[in-house]
Amino acid sequence: MKNLLGGKGANLAEMCHLGMPVPPGFTITTEVCTAFYQSGKKFPKGLKDEVDKALARVEKIMGSKFGSTDNPLLVSCRSGARISMPGMMDTVLNIGLNDETLKALIAKTNNPRFAYDSYRRFVAMYGDVVMGVKEHILDKVTGEVDKNADPFGHAIDKLKADKGYKNDTELTADDLKGLVVTFKKIIKDVLNQPFPEDPREQLWGAIGAVFDSWMITRAKSYRKLHGIPEDWGTAVNVQAMVFGNMNDNSGTGVCFSRDPSTGENYFFGEYLINAQGEDVVAGIRTPKPINRQKPLPKGVNSTLIDDMPKIYKTLESFKEKLENHYRDMQDIEFTIEDGRLFMLQCRSGKRTGHAALKIATDLVNEKLITKQTAIARFDPNHMTQVLLPTFDTKSEAYINRQVLTGGLPASPGAAVGQAYFSAKAAEDEAAKGKKVILVRLETSPEDIKGMHASQGILTARGGMTSHAAVVARGMGRTCVAGAPITVDYGKNLFTIGDEVIKAGDWVSLDGTKGEVIKGQLPTKEVGLSDEFHTFMKWVEAEKVMKVRTNADTPNDSRVARSYGAEGIGLCRTEHMFFEADRIDHVRAMILANTQPEREEALSRILPMQREDFFEIFKAMDGFPVTIRTLDPPLHEFLPHSDHEIKQLAEKFSLPLQAVKDRIDFLHEQNPMLGLRGCRLGILYPEITSMQARAIFEAAVKATKEGIKVFPEIMIPLIGNEKEFAAQKALVDQVAKDVLGKSNVKLNYLVGTMIELPRAALVADKVVEAGAEFFSFGTNDLTQTTFGLSRDDSGIFLPRYLEQNIWETDPFVTIDFEGLGQLMEIGVQKGRSADKKLKIGICGEHGGDPPSVMFCYDLGFDYVSCSPFRVPLARLASAQASLKASPKDLKKKAEKEANPAKKPLSKQAEYKKKLAKKLAETIAPLANQALKSLKPMAKKVLPKTPAKKKPANDKVVKVTPKNNKGKPTKKG
Amino acid sequence: MKNLLGGKGANLAEMCHLGMPVPPGFTITTEVCTAFYQSGKKFPKGLKDEVDKALARVEKIMGSKFGSTDNPLLVSCRSGARISMPGMMDTVLNIGLNDETLKALIAKTNNPRFAYDSYRRFVAMYGDVVMGVKEHILDKVTGEVDKNADPFGHAIDKLKADKGYKNDTELTADDLKGLVVTFKKIIKDVLNQPFPEDPREQLWGAIGAVFDSWMITRAKSYRKLHGIPEDWGTAVNVQAMVFGNMNDNSGTGVCFSRDPSTGENYFFGEYLINAQGEDVVAGIRTPKPINRQKPLPKGVNSTLIDDMPKIYKTLESFKEKLENHYRDMQDIEFTIEDGRLFMLQCRSGKRTGHAALKIATDLVNEKLITKQTAIARFDPNHMTQVLLPTFDTKSEAYINRQVLTGGLPASPGAAVGQAYFSAKAAEDEAAKGKKVILVRLETSPEDIKGMHASQGILTARGGMTSHAAVVARGMGRTCVAGAPITVDYGKNLFTIGDEVIKAGDWVSLDGTKGEVIKGQLPTKEVGLSDEFHTFMKWVEAEKVMKVRTNADTPNDSRVARSYGAEGIGLCRTEHMFFEADRIDHVRAMILANTQPEREEALSRILPMQREDFFEIFKAMDGFPVTIRTLDPPLHEFLPHSDHEIKQLAEKFSLPLQAVKDRIDFLHEQNPMLGLRGCRLGILYPEITSMQARAIFEAAVKATKEGIKVFPEIMIPLIGNEKEFAAQKALVDQVAKDVLGKSNVKLNYLVGTMIELPRAALVADKVVEAGAEFFSFGTNDLTQTTFGLSRDDSGIFLPRYLEQNIWETDPFVTIDFEGLGQLMEIGVQKGRSADKKLKIGICGEHGGDPPSVMFCYDLGFDYVSCSPFRVPLARLASAQASLKASPKDLKKKAEKEANPAKKPLSKQAEYKKKLAKKLAETIAPLANQALKSLKPMAKKVLPKTPAKKKPANDKVVKVTPKNNKGKPTKKG
């Protein structure tokens, strides 16, 4: 029921089933939220009635009445999305308090301080969350909303200062009473409207606020980051309040069934006596641990096990039961009200990557879950985490770090080094043994060696898939891209605000968060744990679709192989062209005026390329190696600055003008759509022939040395079967020649990238022309399908994501809806011509888990990704195999693109349609949700014998009935 | 039978059927040619036998024997493609002559001069055509093939000089005999192999040479130009020789049933006495007219009607019969052998555009054809011709013109003016009343006004769809693009070889041929004839799919309307932004840092845009006007040179660095794929709003003045329904506002361009999001589908066309196979969401006849093209309506992409397969062809009573049996 009730609501219901004490309440379903937005933020008809009925049931159970001045019921109102979004959305506690019900609460609890404390909390929370006081306070200087405004906190601080208090606990009942008055005045002053005293108005305000909070910026950002669809909506959980702040026999806490940082299997948690949940989150007081499994923090002398041993025991038994029930590490919130334990929430606990591995392998070893389950539920992001060095987040230096600015978290990890501003400087300084951060406006293929020599790369321009980002991810270098810094190459420095970072100054980059940090932070080196190897062995056993790597060097090949890569899916030969010992020959080739001149220059590159390929074959002994023939436009190999051009002319003894003319001639308006890929090989067949020769000669040499070689030659940017046929003919000719002379037998394939829409549309023809494999180049295919240069999308991409025009960056996750169609056409047509056609992907998407699964759904034979993403892709491949219905993801994408779920901006159009539809469907839906909550209210509570039942205490107390038994199935 | 027999073969057979005297012979079918190439230039098995059999039949009819030293049969060997390719392929005459058969020929004709003349012609022709002597003569300086080599001609010239002759007719039999010896020696010297004396070897050499000539450069170019597929192949017609050079009672000529230049209905033709066909073509002697319909040329005193009145009468009756039979103007070749008329060829005659109109309307008026037939067979190129000024090709200046160089015929017409090298100079000089040719390396949107002010545009870079080409065609300006000239902006001149053209020098451009001509040629202004108007009325009656125009100015709108445009399909608003009075406001908008600043600048552009739109609505009163919101990247509006940037900074009182920074910020790697189209409107909604306001305010104003306005607002570069929804919401909001205030009722539509692959793939979603029409932007759709920048394709496009990778330039004619699929998906998905969705095209293809027909097949409502292409598009639209099966074109494209017809470069692969296949199928095919030729040899000749039959004359003479009757059906 998670989709309808949200995670929190479903888990509350489940805890009821398991016989645990849960405050009675009900859930308003996520579909109501969706309807709320679709109808222009109006509550669907019929909802009020349903809520009234549900509330009446809660009142009945609790024996109190919402808004009663005699025995008032207070409720909380909490959000609950399908997937937990901790801390992202709003919560309102203590709803139902006003000057009148307050009196009854005092009378009922005989605890005026508690009552006023609850009241002032409620007024402040309501003022902030529901009425939006903060958003109405303007900065006196700028006239814009003052983001630092906190009038209620300010009032408390002032009072404490006036009274000389240090802690909130020192506030007396009278102080708190005064604060209520102050707070109400603030609300009136700021908003020119009073704090609502009517409890029902309060409740509906709170419900609306929870719905509203689905659309606040931080919630949207969180969803964007975690790929949660906008139209899922949140549920609202309305529950009777229980009070951890009633007295010192009360408290509230959070615990985990295992340590979420390390994964160690012990009961971990902390709690605060006499507090409400928000105090734990706010971190005003130091919480106590629940037990003595780890050394106590300074100044803490007791734990829950000491303070309330029975409660602890009960809580521990609940923990056991929940972990056994959910078969995962649980994150549990609880409140103790006057010595009685209430379970407020449980959910699968967030954890670090290392903890995730430890927990997963432990759970399997404990036979709680199968290996398959461990794999299926493993969060791919955890896999990334464990492979990367991180900052030592517990170090003082880290805690006090000075974040200069934030950029895009383009390539994860932690990098520390001295800033340098050119690839050459980076290389030179690194050669001296320095750790270097390369800082550029943007990077280009010429910077490759400098990037390689650096610990991390920081750029001022470009998005998640800019050159810097893509190359850095490929190399496993940390990268923060598109940071709002001003780079001055002339002065060798960059500035951000008043801060100036000069060449040689230390900078730290957090590629996972996108932080640019001043100075030198300590890092932790992370070795691969035993758990990693165990887990990956299981992954390997489930995986069907193979995982290769994109690697251009023997070293990358070896790294990838150590991560489990089963061959190379993309070896870009052009990176080899930039090596210092050959760039001159490459340039000579480009500047040549005739084919013989070009062939002469190429003949000098041949032995070097042959050696490259030999080393790569060696590193990939036994696995296929896909080598792409030259792809980038030739001008990328030529210098740009006048000075360099002059140098080049001198070196080649050419007239300066001739060199300039050639550069002008090769200049392109849109290099992405110009003379590149197989077009180079069509225009200059001698380039393809040279590369083929280098490949086959290297393969022959390797074979003679006993290395098993499976070269797969890949022709890029095919749009037409004739292009392919022409290039394949060249390759086959060279193969015949080289292999014939050597007497070596070699199995090789010639295939093509599918990276243009037209290639997908005529894929059958390309196979009929002899293509023996396809590799989807989804980077370029995305660029052409969207008409979108990834280098130039930076300006509007944020707006597109913000406005929800794109749910995700199409360069990160395959656009299933559009690109997916073309890929499907390509696969279907390709396989229609050759049933067994080998199909893979070598775009950046090959390392993105949802994209990997999509490829599996389409029947791919392999995915290929950068070395550091190989374990992640292997995991995703195994998860894809384990999925019951591998078409799920696509269906999901289709469903989300369904016109019934239009962008919210089209509210007006939908109002009309919905008016009718709502009347028919929303009320029953709300009803259904209520029915599903009945157990939570009905079943558990009646069965719970009251510990003590004073006549004036109408709040129903609950204790678990059946701690170790199976969850009750009835109801 | 045209496809199998070729045009010539089929028409020969037809003339036999009509009872006309045709020299007996047979045809080797086009499929043999295809097989010849597929098997690596080998004759299919079985062909020799079939040819022998057919030859035996001819021998029987002629009563002579091929190779006989007693009574030798001589034959000709002529090419014949499905579609006539005049002068493109090779012909060999007089086959069968050698030193022995010659003697017999002398004996038989008693005319040694004739015999030696035939012999020397044969040796030279065979040496050139079959043996390729010329291609083996190297230039002594360069070592490359000497393209000017003409050893046989040189030998004749030398002999004539030695003897003091002026004309070839002065050559005596002995002279000619000597030439035969000389020629044979040349062959032996150059090729180191003798001239083949064996007649059968001669025949097979000639057949092979005709097949070979299918692939020579000029034939390939011709096909490319006329869109004739490579794999159609040519047939070979082998016929008994008849001799126009036998004596003065012989002759040869060419005639047309109507005047091919003017279309006038009189019998037009010329002939030469005592000559073979090649003499007429070579133009060595001045031919005589066949009659006195027009004044005789100087030095000519008699005509065929005078010289051989009976022959003339017969010929005239044949002409009548053929025109009545084919119901079109006929081009007829004939030979008179010793007083007997032979028909060598007939075909539909080539004609000028004006003649085409005249003939078409005349034939309809004469009731020979219906209006529908006139339309269906009208060549669209003729329509282009009649709209454009041309050079006065009869003027001395034209005949002696100095062609500086050739470029791409980018926009047809004849332009004469003084060269200037910047848009500004062009504008300034034109303002002084000068005629200007704008010469640029390439043009950019900033040059628009300069281009408009010019007569023609000459560029050194770019292809048929470069900016210059597209804009020039749109404006109706002549353009030669990509000419190999060197432009020096600094010195204000361009050079080609040693020629230097400075600013102010006169240049003439032939945009139809692509010639760049030195100096000032006289042109002819062409008014639209009555025939044009009559014809277009008929076209209009047949046309179903509408034709709109792409027009950005009131003037263009008026021109287009005068050509019959039914509205505007694309009005590009950005061109208006470049006007001198507004570019500053546009730049202010771009340089603005905040939305209010931007809005302020936009508010100054608003009234100007409003006025533009008002004038356009006025010009298009009663017709829909599709206005596209701003499309190009903003940097196109900013200056590039340091000087201009400095000026701009000063004008706006901005720091130079700030302007530079903004320009840097807006700089894009691939502007085509960057911040443009609706992305601009998403990022800066105020631009869309301003444009919508200008449109609706103009519409209101026009409506109030009684003008009927139907605005269609078109959002460019949509890739996603949410983009569209967001932009439509803005437009609708402004409409509501403006219309609400004015109380004017207005029907308007908001639609989108489909110009990205993704848009086609999600077209249903876009319609569901509210799109009310689609306009296919096939320029950009081609760019993205092919991953091909039209500005950058110039370097490799020629190679692609040459290697047949593309049959046609995809920017000229829609790529039916690839792009066509996407268009079909777009149409199908769009109409699935809205059955009546209005669909059009506004890419350049909208004026290309095959593309127009393709759009018709897909069910488009309209095409839109530049004003000067409107009549052409109307014709194509009518032709599409008239086509029996409108899917023909697509089927053809599919068939041509069929793997059974692979590129010839893949010969090797096919050899194996063919070896088997040929044995089974080719021989029967040859057989079938022979059967179909039997009538030509058998049926006509036996029925033809010989006029006189001397015993030693074994050549069968023929006269028509039944001039006026139906063609005989038997045999």
pLDDT in tens, A388-420: 778 888 888 998 999 999 888 878 889 999 999
The label of the residue with tokens 């059955």 reads B835
* pLDDT at site B885: 44
Question: What is the predicted pLDDT for the residue at A921?
Answer: 29
pLDDT digits (tens, 9 = 90+) for B186-201: 999 999 999 999 999 9
Amino acid A633: pLDDT: 92
| Residues of chain A found within 8 Å of residue B784, distances taken between Cβ atoms | 757, 784-785, 787
Q: Mind listing the pLDDT tens digit for each residue in B275-332?
A: 877 666 555 567 889 999 988 877 888 999 999 999 999 999 999 999 999 999 999 9
Select from A876, A751, A895 the least CA-distant residue to A816: A895
For residue range B502-532, what is the model confidence (pLDDT) as tens digits? 999 999 999 888 899 999 999 886 668 899 9
**CB-count burial class (<10 Å; 0-12, 13-18, 19+) for A79:** buried
Q: CA-CA distance, B826 to B394, in Å (whole number)? A: 50
A939, with CB counted inside 10 A (0-12, 13-18, 19+), is middle
pTM equals 0.78
Assign B129 a pLDDT band (cuts: 50, 70, 90): confident
Nearest residue to B574 (alpha-carbon basis) of B483, B511, B663, B635: B635
A683 touches chain B (CB under 8 A): yes
How confident is the model at residue A142, as a pLDDT? 67
- Looking at residue B411, the DSSP 8-state letter turns out to be E
pLDDT of residue A394: 84
pLDDT above 80 (res A473)? no
Looking at residue A837, what is its pLDDT?
97
The partner residue sitting opposite A758, judged by closest CB among B668, B768, B818, is B818
According to DSSP, the β-strands at A456-459 and A65-66 are unpaired
Residues of B in contact with A674 (CB under 8 A): 789, 792-793, 795
The partner residue sitting opposite A792, judged by closest CB among B670, B804, B805, is: B670
Chain A residues 782-821 with a CB less than 8 Å from chain B: 783-789, 791-793, 795-796, 799-800, 803-806, 815, 817-819, 821
Query: What does the H/E/C string look like for A734-794?
Result: HHHHHHHHHCCCCCCEEEEEECCHHHHHCHHHHHHCCCCEEEECHHHHHHHHHCCCCCCHH
Identify the residue with better confidence: B917 or B470: B470
Residue of chain A minimizing CA distance to B799: A683
Q: Which letter does DSSP use for residue B509 in this model?
A: E
CB B511 within 8 A of CB B408: no
C-alpha to C-alpha distance for A345 and B632, rounded to whole angstroms: 54
The stretch A61-67 carries a mean pLDDT of 91
Residue B957 confidence (pLDDT): 31
Q: Which residue is it, tokens 């332009």?
A: B415
Tell me the residues of chain B between 715 and 734 that have a Cβ less than 8 Å away from chain A: 717, 719-720, 722-723, 725-726, 729
Which range is least confidently modeled, A374-388, A756-770, B109-123, B533-547? A374-388
Angle at A812 between CA A529 and CA A474, to 5 degrees: 55
**Looking at CA atoms only, how far is residue B744 from chain A in angstroms?**
23
Q: Encode pLDDT of B157-184 as tens digits.
A: 999 999 999 877 789 999 999 999 999 9
Q: φ, ψ for residue B166 (rounded to 5)? A: -100, -45
What digits encode the pLDDT tens for the residues B9-45?
Answer: 888 888 988 999 999 999 898 888 888 888 888 888 8
Share of chain A above pLDDT 70, in %: 87
> Is A901 in the B-facing interface, judged by CB distances under 8 Å?
no
Q: What is the pLDDT of residue A381?
A: 77
DSSP letter string, A394-414: TSHHHHT-EEEEE-EEEE-SE
pLDDT at B940: 32
Tokens (6 digits) for A683: 């225009």
**Mean per-residue pLDDT over chain B, rounded:** 85
Own/partner pairs for B541-544, CB < 8 Å, 24+ apart? B541/B371, B542/B371, B542/B372, B542/B375, B542/B878, B542/B881, B542/B882, B543/B874, B543/B877, B543/B878, B543/B881, B544/B856, B544/B877, B544/B880, B544/B881
**Which residue's structure tokens are 């070729």?**
B6
pLDDT tens for each residue of B408-458: 887 888 999 999 999 889 988 988 889 999 999 888 766 877 888 899 999
Instruction: Identify the pLDDT of residue B1.
Output: 64
User: Does the structure show a pLDDT above 70 at A953?
Assistant: no
Whether the Cβ atoms of residue B535 and residue B869 lie closer than 8 Å to each other: no
CA distance B304 to B291: 6
Specify whether the CB–CB gap between B902 and B914 falls below 8 A.
Answer: no
Which is nearest to A811 in space by CA: A791, A826, A795? A791
Question: Could you tell me the two tokens for B314?
Answer: 């017969």
For B791, which residue in chain A has the nearest alpha carbon?
A669
CA distance B793 to B788: 7
Which residues on adjacent β-strands are paired with residue A341? A336
- Residue A176's φ and ψ, nearest 5 degrees, are -65, -40
Catalytically active residues of A, by annotation: 467, 842
Q: In this structure, what token pair is assigned to residue A752?
A: 């093509």
Closest residue in A to B796 (Cα) is: A683
Distance of CA B356 to the CA centre of its chain: 16
In this predicted structure, the answer to whether residue B381 has a pLDDT above a threshold of 70 is: yes
- The confidence score (pLDDT) of residue A1 equals 64
Q: How is residue B593 annotated by DSSP?
A: S
**Exposed e or buried b per residue across B949-970, where buried means at least 16 C-beta atoms within 10 angstroms of its C-beta:** eeeebbbbbbebeeeeeeebee
Tally the residues of chain B: 971
> What is the per-residue pLDDT for A493?
93
Kindly state the average pLDDT of the residues B817-827: 96
Confidence of residue A226 (pLDDT cuts 50, 70, 90): low
Q: For chain A, first and last CA: distance in Å? A: 15
> Which range among A600-609, B246-255, B614-623, B786-795 shows the weakest confidence by mean pLDDT?
B786-795
SS3 A423: helix
- pLDDT of A855-872, one tens digit each? 999 999 999 999 988 999
CB atoms within 10 A of CB A307: 17
- Per this entry, what is the length of chain A? 971
Give per-residue pLDDT as tens, B728-751: 999 999 999 999 999 899 999 999
% pLDDT > 90, chain B: 55
Least confidently predicted of A238-252, A567-581, A833-847, B888-902: B888-902
Q: How far is Cα A801 from Cα A220, in angstroms, rounded to an integer?
A: 10
Chain A interface mutation, best of B669, B718, B800, B911, highest count of A Cβ atoms under 10 Å: B669
Confidence at residue B73, expressed as pLDDT on a 0 to 100 scale? 94
Among A84-98, A167-181, A763-777, the range with the most confident prediction by mean pLDDT is: A763-777
Closest CA of chain A from B668, distance in Å: 6
Interface check for A756 against chain B (CB to CB < 8 A): the answer is: yes
Chain A: closest CA distance from residue B635 (Å): 13
- pLDDT, mean over chain A: 85
pLDDT of residue A886: 38
B754 lies within 8 A of chain A by CB: no
pLDDT above 50: residue B902: no
Which tokens go with B147?
A: 């393209």
**Does B903 have pLDDT greater than 50?**
no
Q: For residue B912, what pLDDT is reported?
A: 34
Query: At B216, is the pLDDT very low, low, confident or very high (cuts 50, 70, 90)?
Result: confident
Is pLDDT above 50 for A892?
Answer: no
- Interchain pair A897, B765: CB under 8 A: yes
Q: What is the pLDDT of residue A207?
A: 92
Identify the CA nearest to A388 among candidates A542, A547, A246, A526: A526
Count of CB atoms situated within 10 Å of the CB of A644: 12
Report pLDDT for A250: 92
Q: Which residues of B have a catalytic role annotated?
A: 467, 842
The string of pLDDT tens digits covering residues B235-255 is: 899 999 998 988 889 999 989
DSSP structural state of residue B331: E
Is the separation of the CB atoms in B645 and B659 below 8 Å?
Answer: yes
Q: Which residues does chain A have within 8 Å of residue B899's beta carbon, measured at their own beta carbons?
A: 765, 768-769
- Mutation target to probe the B interface, by most B beta carbons within 10 A, among A680, A761, A806, A832 is A761
- B816 pLDDT band, cuts 50/70/90, is very high
**Number of CB atoms found within 10 A of residue A144's CB:** 8
**Looking at the predicted structure, is the pLDDT value of residue A907 above 50?**
no
Q: Do B786 and A725 touch (CB under 8 A)?
A: no
Strand order across the A493-496 sheet: A486-488, A493-496, A499-502
Distances (CA, A) of B475 to A354, A721, B555, B866: 68, 37, 10, 7
Write out pLDDT tens, residues B700-738. Answer: 999 999 999 999 999 999 999 999 999 999 999 999 999
Residue A898 is predicted with a pLDDT of 43
- Cross-strand pairs, B496: B499
Q: Reply yes or no on whether the pLDDT at A305 is more than 70.
A: yes
* Distance separating alpha carbons of residues B211 and B227, to the nearest angstrom: 19
Q: Residue A511: its pLDDT value, please? A: 87
CA dist., res. A872 & res. A727, Å (int)? 35
pLDDT at B949: 38
Q: Do A787 and B758 touch (CB under 8 A)?
A: yes
Position B8 scores a pLDDT of 81
Residue B577 corresponds to which amino acid?
A: F
Predicted local distance difference test score (pLDDT) of residue A526: 66
Instruction: Say if residue A326's pLDDT is above 60.
Output: yes
Tell me the per-residue pLDDT of B602-640, one tens digit each, with 9 for 90 and over.
999 999 999 999 999 999 999 999 999 999 999 989 988
pLDDT attached to residue A214? 84
d(CA B738, CA B740): 5
Can you spell out the DSSP letters for B726-790? HHHHHHHHHHHHHHHHHT-----EEEEEE-SHHHHHTHHHHHHTT--EEEE-HHHHHHHHHT--T
Of the pLDDT bands very low, low, confident and very high (cuts 50, 70, 90), residue B889 is very low
Give the Cα separation of B804 and B800 in Å (integer): 6
Q: pLDDT (tens digit, 9 = 90+) per residue, B655-676?
A: 998 898 888 888 888 999 999 9
User: In sequence order, which residues have a C-beta less than 8 Å from that of residue A674 and are 6 or more positions away?
Assistant: A633, A668, B789, B792, B793, B795
Of B593, B629, B592, residue with least CA distance to B723 = B629
Per-residue pLDDT at B464? 65
For residues B815-838, give the mean pLDDT: 96
pLDDT value at B692 more than 60: yes
- Residue B862, Cα to own-chain centre: how many angstroms? 24
Running DSSP on this structure, what letter comes out for residue B793? Answer: G
Q: DSSP assignment of A308-374, as one string? A: -HHHHHHHHHHHHHHHHHHTS-EEEEEEEETTEEEEEEEEEPP--HHHHHHHHHHHHHTTSS-HHHH
| Confidence check: pLDDT of B901 > 70 | no
Confidence of residue B401 (pLDDT cuts 50, 70, 90): very high
Find the angle CA(A63)-CA(A65)-CA(A68) to the nearest 5 degrees: 135
> At residue B884, does pLDDT exceed 90?
no
